[in-house]
A and B are shown apart, each in its own frame.
Chain A
Amino acid sequence: MKQEEYFTQLVRENKSTIYTVCYMFSQDEEEVNDLFQETLINMWKGIDSFREESKISTWIYRVALNTCLLQERKKKKEVKKVPLTMNVNFFQDDDANAAQVRLLHQRIGKLGLVDRALVMMWLEGMSYDEIGSVMGISAQNVGVKLFRIKELLKKL
């Protein structure tokens, strides 16, 4: 399979994971679009280095989270905007589902960046080992941090 075809398939199959990370680190739809595009660019730049040593979901999470963390905001604004053409805008849609998603965004948004990333991966169903490999901490430490975050979230 040509690399372009493989990449296109990869993006299409994992669109919801990429979008979820970008959405949780954004304040508006425009920022989601910017981060989404930036994440795809970084995935494309590094597609050669993905050797299937880890799960694809772990690799995508790592790229997306690092993109959200390291994005150069000024430079980003110079990038030509391309719409995602996903017919969804959780920031504006007013149906019941969008309201629930906004509530999730609001709750997770109260956490710091690292805690937010941890909770998202936990909600995604990733194992502590996988979460630890993305964050650079041990699985045991992931458990401790998640316990602390859960306690924190209970108080919110």
Chain B
Amino acid sequence: MNFEELRSQFAILKDQLKKQEIVSDHLLRMTMKSKRGNINNTKRSCYVAVVLALLLTPLNYYINAWGLAFSIVTCLMLLFCAAATYYIHKPVDDLNFLTDDFATVARVMARFKKQYNQWLYYVTPVIIPWVGWACYDYGWKHAPEGVNPLWMCVPLLIGAVIGGAIGLYYHFKAVNAAQDILDQIES
């Protein structure tokens, strides 16, 4: 390929664009209406879930569904999750379209993906005994005479499965988004 040809094609492109009258005022007005700031949906969903759970956990203790120890441990775990989410997401939130170069973006996204993947390995061994503890606290302590405690745990387990599925969905969504960006940079 002749590079002069490439240059001349580029010059044609620029020349054609210079002749244009440019974008509509409507587009510029709409742009300037857009709010400044960036919202990370995955992070926001996590914070909303943590706040809801922090409100519901004392309520469950109050109505005597779960014991004090379980409620305290649950609240601490929730706070830890929120703090970890903040820590993992912060470098991505701090990415600046105007000052950061490709190399920085690639480094931040790689770190984000690695930490998200590690998070799953740390959380899974904690969540399984926690669900068992929730079942014990609720089912075995509250089952009426003649009722198998396992049946009392069915709604809890269904909730745990749904909650876990939603959590995994957001987890892999975030990891895939990071991977997409890395793939584009490395392609």
Contacts and interface: CB of A to CB of B under 8 A. Distances in A.
A and B associate in one complex: yes
A67 B102 contact: no
Contact of A62 (B20, B28, B98): B98
Interface string A71-98: 0100000001011111110100000011
A66 B16 contact: no
Size category of the binding interface on chain A: 35 or more
A71 B100 CA distance: 15
B123 interface: no
B100 A66 contact: yes
B3 A41 contact: no
Size category of the binding interface on chain B: 35 or more
B20 A8 contact: no
17 contacts: A7-B28, A8-B28, A15-B23, A20-B13, A20-B14, A49-B98, A50-B98, A63-B98, A82-B24, A82-B30, A83-B27, A97-B12, A101-B9, A113-B187, A136-B104, A137-B101, A153-B1
Interface of A: 4, 7-8, 11-12, 15-16, 19-20, 23, 36-37, 40-42, 44-46, 49-50, 59, 62-63, 65-67, 69-70, 72, 80, 82-88, 90, 97-98, 100-101, 103-104, 107, 112-114, 117, 123-124, 133-137, 150, 153-154, 156
